[in-house]
A and B are shown apart, each in its own frame.
Chain A
Amino acid sequence: GDSVTQMEGPVTLSEEAFLTINCTYTATGYPSLFWYVQYPGEGLQLLLKATKADDKGSNKGFEATYRKETTSFHLEKGSVQVSDSAVYFCALGMGSASKIIFGSGTRLSIRP
């Protein structure tokens, strides 16, 4: 079945470091891909999305490119801040029911 695999955490970086969180997917069709973020004590927020191959989603300095050839949607940011500390979930959406399948989440901690 459809699934999402993302790198395990926790990931700890220093402020201003470069961030990559890997995400790969398995799907029988052509999914939409998402990154959601969950800040401490808060609900999930949609960070960015891409709906077709080669699309790049971006928001708040984060980017991810929909790579059909490698079935990947890696999240990147050039210079992280302490305020980026959160759990990041990669997800895909398939089918007419708009169901979303989530990866296991990656906890990111940024040191000052």
Chain B
Amino acid sequence: SAVISQKPSRDICQRGTSLTIQCQVDSQVTMMFWYRQQPGQSLTLIATANQGSEATYESGFVIDKFPISRPNLTFSTLTVSNMSPEDSSIYLCSVVPQGIPYEQYFGPGTRLTVT
């Protein structure tokens, strides 16, 4: 498995501002993903964070709104830009450990409230 930490754990932000969420893993992983979980809902994949290149976004998510970086094999950031109340969600990072395809491990999440 892998131990994943996210910062911040929660934040309250004003509309129009941006927040950057960090995801750190204790070991090298093959893949990193970012998900959104809106209140009472299931998880929706935002994008795959690719090491050293642009992230791969799912339908309905764009780089201008959710820029993602992954400078190395253990770290990634997700920025939620120009926030509105509709962005209030839990944002989760997940990883696929090396040698264990499809088995994803999730970080504790970042609870974001936009006022």
Contact = CB atoms under 8 A, between A and B. Distances in A.
B55 interface: no
Task: Provide the main secondary structure of the chain B interface.
Answer: strand
Which secondary structure dominates chain A's binding surface? strand
Contact of B102 (A32, A104, A105): A32
B104 A100 contact: yes
Interface in B14-68: 30-31, 33, 41-43, 45, 48, 56
21 contacts: A34-B103, A36-B106, A42-B108, A43-B106, A44-B43, A44-B106, A45-B106, A46-B103, A46-B104, A49-B102, A51-B102, A93-B104, A97-B31, A97-B48, A98-B96, A99-B45, A99-B48, A100-B45, A100-B104, A102-B43, A104-B42
* Size band of the interface chain B makes with A: 20 to 34
Contacts of A45: 106
Contacts of B41: 104-105
A93 B42 contact: no
Given A89-B43, A100-B102, A43 B107 contact: yes
Contacts of A89: 42-43
- Of the listed residues A36, A89, A99, A105, the one surrounded by the most CB atoms of chain B closer than 10 A to its CB is A99
Contact of A103 (B30, B42, B92, B108): B42
Interface of B: 30-31, 33, 41-43, 45, 48, 56, 92, 94, 96, 101-109
Contact of B109 (A34, A43, A105): A43
A100 B103 CA distance: 9
A92 B96 CA distance: 14
B110 to A, nearest CB: 10
B42 A102 contact: yes
Interface in A1-48: 32, 34, 36, 42-46
Contacts of B105: 46
B42 A98 contact: no
A97 B103 CA distance: 12
